[in-house]
Amino acid sequence: MAGGMPVSTDNEAVMERQLELAFLPLHKRAFGMAAGFVSAVMVFAATLMHLARAEDPQPLILLAQFFTGYTISVEGAFIGAFWAAVAGFVIGWFFAFCRNFALAVSAFIVRTRADLREVKGFLDHI
């Protein structure tokens, strides 16, 4: 404290900016595309790895239950990558939507409570 007043530091400004960035909404389409891309690459790579190693394909055979046309082959790797991209996009988009919605509701509740606290003191004096 200098002269009885608190000194503002750069740490507070940095912390405030980081907090602001943490609560920015996610871009739903971009998050969905990223999740879809990662899912597609993982399914493609897992299929090719199983083909290269000639391992027991039991863990991957379950993908055929969910992805129409998927087989443990090079062609199946491309089909599985397509379906994984679609599923990953939908899951990523929905996750971003839910996160944005939850943050918006939380911010609304916090703001409303703060506004009610301010008004409560004002109404007591009328």
Q: Domain segments of the chain: what residues?
A: 27-124
List pLDDT tens digits, range 70-100.
999 999 999 999 999 999 999 999 999 999 9
* More confident of the two residues 7 and 62: 62
* Model pTM score: 0.75
Q: What are 28-41's pLDDT values in tens digits?
A: 999 999 999 999 99
What's the CA gap between 101 and 78, in Å, rounded?
A: 34
> Considering all CA atoms of the chain, what is the largest pairwise distance in Å, rounded to the nearest integer?
82
Q: If phi over 0 gives left and psi between -120 and 50 gives alpha, with beta otherwise, what is residue 71?
A: beta
Return the pLDDT at 122: 66
Q: What is the pLDDT of residue 38?
A: 98
Query: pLDDT category, 111, cuts 50, 70, 90?
Result: confident
